[in-house]
């Protein structure tokens, strides 16, 4: 097993030992996605993962061929052997691992109440736990801090993202892109040519007639893009499982009100970048940006940023809500994305991906406001 996967698993096994959890079950299936399985085994998806306190990992994949190609685990047992039923898989793996009766077994806290009751009934030999603050939350917290391998992947993903942004700007200036669809499809095709798995989320390309929305609906159309006014392009590239997330604004012959929106957004981004760093309160940074907008009689209707990784939105969260008590730490990668939106003048947003290091911060991406 690779050193990085082994280290991740080791931390979880240690936590399980302290908590008295004998077996933890993770599920990544349609309607119940959990990329932690990929983080722990390398398997790209659709599987169950069982971790035992005696430091054994048993993967139960839906596609055994994909598991043979990508996964690392102590045991790989096809899901079909358990009739593709999670409760039967749990019982089968518990027997395989010789789990003592009465042992504590944790399942996902996102399990429905009716399913939880079925687990209790059908897996009655064990103490089934379905709780907040358990092993699943602990894993999500661990994933907030990227290790050296994840940071290496992110730097490569950012380089590809930056290259595409440069090419998009050049083609817009050359008037080779005229519609939202032109831009969105270019990203889809070119990202895959560069080894990406695709986009991290549906590309949002909104021309001047639709940029007033935080997330335009539909995500892109055949409407004009980068014509007179403000256009927003929000996209991310998924590379080796990890997604970038950037937003560019294209401003062509902006009016005075539009220029004011652009300037305020740039000021907010620069302010946020000066404030972030190791040990800094995520809420404090968000409040400072909100206060800047408030002083200028503007309101940002969304959070300042969020963590990125195997999911497009994960911890840490940079928002001004009173219940946000988190702080930034070295190894965290997150977005800074201040934005303003006006139903008449349109919207603008500037978003980059930032890594906290022991010595400060590293801006991984090179998004910007493009004035045409």
pLDDT of residue 1: 64
Residue ending a domain, choose from 87, 116, 142: 142
pLDDT of residue 359: 86
* One domain, residues 206 and 265: yes
Q: Are 29 and 37 in contact (CB under 8 A)?
A: no
3-state SS of 278-297 is: CCCEHHHHHHHHHHHHHHCC
pTM for the model: 0.95
Residue-level pLDDT, tens digit, the chain, 372 residues? 699 999 999 999 999 999 999 999 999 998 889 999 999 999 998 999 999 999 999 999 999 999 999 999 999 999 999 999 999 999 999 999 999 999 999 999 999 999 999 999 999 999 999 999 999 999 999 999 999 999 999 999 999 999 999 999 999 999 999 999 999 999 999 999 999 999 999 999 999 999 999 999 999 999 999 999 999 999 999 999 999 999 999 999 999 999 999 999 999 999 999 999 999 999 999 999 999 999 999 999 999 999 999 999 999 999 999 999 999 999 999 999 999 999 999 999 999 999 999 889 999 999 999 999
Q: Are 134 and 105 in contact (CB under 8 A)?
A: no
Coil, strand or helix at 96: helix
* One domain, residues 355 and 272: yes
Q: With both helix axes pointing from N to C terminus, report the angle between 256-275 and 282-295 in degrees, rounded to the nearest 10.
A: 150
Task: Tell me the CATH number at 291.
Answer: 3.90.230.10
* One domain, residues 126 and 46: yes
* One domain, residues 91 and 190: no
* One domain, residues 168 and 287: yes
* One domain, residues 157 and 81: no
Residue ending a domain, choose from 123, 142, 161: 142
Range of the domain at 88: 3-142
pLDDT of residue 184: 98
Q: What is the count of structural domains for the chain?
A: 2
Residue ending a domain, choose from 142, 163, 190: 142
CB-CB neighbours of 324 under 10 Å: 18
3-state SS of 18-65 is: HHCCCEEEEEEECCECCCHHHHHHCCCCCEEEEEECCCEEEEEECCHH
């Amino acid at each position: 097993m690779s050193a990085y996967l082994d280290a991740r698993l080791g931390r979880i096994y240690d936590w399980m030992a302290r908590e008295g959890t004998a077996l933890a079950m993770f599920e990544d299936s349609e309607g119940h996605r959990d990329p932690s399985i990929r983080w722990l085994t390398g398997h790209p998806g659709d599987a169950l993962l069982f971790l035992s306190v005696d430091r054994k990992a048993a993967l139960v994949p839906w596609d055994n061929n994909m598991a043979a190609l990508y996964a690392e685990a102590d045991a790989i047992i096809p899901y079909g052997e358990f009739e593709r039923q999670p409760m039967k898989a749990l019982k089968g793996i518990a027997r395989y691992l010789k789990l003592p009766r009465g042992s504590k077994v944790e399942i996902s806290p996102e399990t429905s109440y009716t399913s939880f009751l079925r687990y209790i009934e059908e897996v009655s030999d064990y103490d089934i736990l379905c709780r907040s603050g358990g092993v699943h939350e602990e894993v999500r917290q661990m994933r907030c801090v990227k290790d050296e391998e994840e940071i290496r992947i992110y730097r490569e993903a950012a380089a590809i993202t930056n290259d595409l942004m440069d090419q998009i700007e050049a083609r817009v200036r050359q008037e080779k892109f005229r519609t939202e669809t032109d831009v969105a499809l270019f990203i889809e095709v070119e990202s895959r040519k560069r080894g990406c798995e695709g986009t991290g989320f549906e590309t949002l390309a909104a021309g001047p007639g639709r940029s007033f929305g935080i997330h335009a609906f539909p995500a892109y159309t055949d409407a004009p893009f980068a014509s007179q006014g403000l256009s927003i392009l929000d996209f991310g590239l998924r590379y080796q499982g990890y997604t970038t997330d950037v937003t560019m604004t294209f401003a062509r012959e902006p009016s005075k009100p539009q220029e004011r929106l652009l300037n305020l957004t740039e000021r907010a981004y620069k302010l946020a970048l000066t404030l972030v760093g190791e040990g800094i309160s995520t809420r404090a940074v968000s409040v400072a940006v909100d206060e800047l907008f408030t002083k200028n009689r503007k309101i940002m209707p969304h959070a300042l940023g969020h963590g990125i990784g195997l999911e497009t939105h994960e911890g840490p969260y940079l928002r001004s809500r009173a219940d946000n008590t988190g702080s930034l730490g070295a190894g965290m990668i997150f977005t800074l994305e201040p934005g303003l939106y006006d139903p008449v003048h349109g919207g603008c947003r500037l978003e980059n991906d930032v890594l906290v290091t022991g010595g400060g911060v590293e801006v991984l991406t090179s998004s910007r406001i493009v004035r045409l």
